[in-house]
Amino acid sequence: MSGFNFNDLIALRDKMGKALADTEINNCLLDTTKELGGRLYSGAVRNTIHRPKGTGTLKRGWKSQVNSVANNKCSVDVFNNVPYAIYVEKGHRTRNHKGWVEGQFMLERAENEVKKVMPRLVKSKIDKLLKGGFK
């Protein structure tokens, strides 16, 4: 999901003579990742269709989970455990195999929304980190 390389941030820290502590950078990394993951999760839920007779199971099925935070790497998984979610997301053949039902691309649309916001959000987080480091 991420198109941003945090190694540049680490290199900047080294050039500044370690003006910022590793914990501050790790906290910034974790906060940024959580915020981007939260935006992805909420976008996927928002993009999920709700049919008039639907039960809302697909919409309630979205989950988000923060993975390991080690070696300056952190990730968030956004997933849906509902068995038919992949068919609604990507599309599927009809029962008689003579037609195709187009996918809704709920998660893909949410990813595209987050990718548009990501550079601005990461820049603001880094600016905030750097301003706080030179108090």
In this predicted structure, what is the pLDDT of residue 108?
96
Answer yes or no: is pLDDT of 24 > 60. yes
pTM of the model: 0.79
In this predicted structure, what is the pLDDT of residue 55?
86
What the block records as the tokens of 123 is: 């820049």
The residue assigned the tokens 């956004």 is 78
Largest CA distance in the chain: 68
**Average pLDDT score, the chain:** 85
